[in-house]
Amino acid sequence: MNTDPSSVTLSRAALEALAAAVGVPRYDPSLLRAGIVHIGVGNFHRAHQAVYLDDRFNMGADHDWAIVGAGVRDADRATQRDLAAQDWLTTVVAQEASHASARVIGSMLDFVEPGDAATLLARLADPAIRIVSLTITEGGYCIHPATQRFDPTHPEIVADAADIAHPRGAFGLIVAGLMRRRAAGIAPYTVMSCDNLPSNGHVTRDAVTGLASLVDPGLARWIEDAVAFPDSMVDRITTATTARERARLEGTYGIRDARPVFCEDYRQWVLEDRFPAGRPRLEDVGVQFVADVAPFELMKIRILNGGHAAIAYPAALLDIEFVHDAMNEPLVHGFLAKLLDDEIVPEVPRVPGTDLREYCTTVMRRFANPAIGDTVRRLCFDGSNRQPKFILPTVAGRLRNGRPVDGLALVGALWCRYCHGTSDSGAVIESNDPNWPRLNERAHEARRDPRAWLAMRDIFGPLGDDARYVGAFSRALRALWQDGTRATIAHHIGTAA
């Protein structure tokens, strides 16, 4: 990429020069002290938790709660290298249809290279570290898709249980760090999930204690008694970074940043207030601390994440690239609106201080934000992990209550049709799931017999045997193959194709 000679490469030394054009830290990042180890330094983390902490540091407070990053994937090496070259700084660009703003955040002070377990375990044993947080995606928690429970046979768990002195996975590192603190008589850290999972604190606790029980049952009991795993709800639409975003940042703001983050202006974080080792006063920068996060979690996961799943596959089958363009397609917009009104919102419990209909309106407005440039392909990714978390629990709830599931079954059928590997126009859909070969094979079988798709018991569990769901899914999938996506959705919402 050709660079503008007048632009500035992001670094701590360049902050003064950048201050005229963008927001920069009002504190000295070099004087921060570590209080948090965060595993999974992706775009969402740097647009969310790292921003809230930057806000708090800008108030001149809690400077002993800075972040030490950590990664467990080979892909994290490139992120670590790029962030190291710019002194761990990140440019965050928040965009709405009518305005945008950029700021440089400095709340991270180090990033342990992936694979360097010795250095990371030394950090985890440091009494100054009082929180270990995670954004490792919905698929990173070693849980069985159908039961949504900890899977002790997961390869990552088996490997770390066999050699806990040299852990490689997130939970192996957390358990090994707690082992060191227990042996040294150091109070344990709080383990805080920031991923989109129902009861994410409980899921994290099950993974940590489940692995620990394979290593040392006494350690597992100590963790159950001594370690806090607060639930949380996190929300901010954040896109992937490509050469396009880097070029836009340099062209608009004159900053060369290898890892900028582009996101929406909206953000929300709801946390269960269980931090026995202490925490920063994040309530002063907009975080909601509550006794019970569950209603907020269900609202967000079923409406926003479920809504994303609902629009992703019809949009992809109609060859729509961007999410805001999908929302401008009347059929996709109408399908989402009907699904929320008829089937999803009735299954969401009351949320304190929240009007669910107003929340739905806000979600749809956020989806339609043209400035974000969020891609349909991103929303389609990893359906084998996301459908059991975002769609199928709502299906199960409606069936328990004797309610119809035609719209939700259509969502499942659209996912199956997508995994067949071609859009309605015949365009090839490239692999977009860790389980793509299996999904693609089952989708081809399901064209002849829809029950072949629902026979994936690790995903559908007992829903694959429920005659009401099997019937609705089968009708929807046959309609998609016979009439196409456009006509099938039009018939469902009662409008012209």
Contact predicate 25/60, CB 8 Å:
no
Q: Is the same domain home to 453 and 314?
A: yes
User: Does 2 fall in a domain?
Assistant: no
Which residue range forms the structural domain that includes residue 134?
8-290
Q: Is the same domain home to 241 and 310?
A: no
Per-residue pLDDT 10s for the chain (497 aa) are 445 667 999 999 999 999 988 999 999 999 999 999 999 999 999 999 999 999 999 999 999 999 999 999 999 999 999 999 999 999 999 999 889 999 999 999 999 999 999 999 999 999 999 999 999 998 899 988 777 789 999 999 999 999 999 999 999 999 999 999 999 999 999 999 999 988 999 999 999 999 999 999 999 999 999 999 999 999 999 999 999 999 999 999 999 999 999 999 999 999 999 999 999 999 999 999 999 999 999 999 999 999 999 999 999 999 999 999 999 999 999 999 999 999 999 999 999 999 999 999 999 999 999 998 899 999 999 999 999 999 999 999 999 999 999 999 999 999 999 999 999 999 999 999 999 999 999 999 999 999 999 999 999 999 999 999 999 999 999 999 999 999 999 999 998 77
Residue 382 sits in a domain of what CATH number? 1.10.1040.10
What is the number of structural domains in the chain? 2
How far is it, in rounded angstroms, from Cα 407 to Cα 7? 50
- In the sheet with 190-193, reading across from the earlier edge strand, the strands are 108-112, 66-70, 34-39, 131-134, 190-193
Last residue of one domain, picked from the residues 290, 325, 344: 290
User: Does 3 fall in a domain?
Assistant: no
How far is it, in rounded angstroms, from Cα 66 to Cα 35? 5
| CB proximity list for 368: less than 8 A, separation 6 or greater | 324, 327, 328
Q: Is the same domain home to 112 and 158?
A: yes
Q: Is the same domain home to 361 and 414?
A: yes
Q: Is the same domain home to 285 and 334?
A: no
Last residue of one domain, picked from the residues 240, 260, 290: 290
Please give the backbone phi and psi of residue 432, each rounded to the nearest 5 degrees, phi first: -145, 35
Q: Is the same domain home to 29 and 170?
A: yes
Contact predicate 339/390, CB 8 Å:
no
How far is it, in rounded angstroms, from Cα 25 to Cα 254? 17
Angle, in degrees to the nearest 10, between helices 392-400 and 406-419: 150
Q: Which residues of 251-279 are buried (b: 16+ CB within 10 A; e: fewer)?
A: eebbbbbbbbbbbbbebebbbbeebeeeb
How far is it, in rounded angstroms, from Cα 144 to Cα 405? 24
Residue 35 sits in a domain of what CATH number? 3.40.50.720
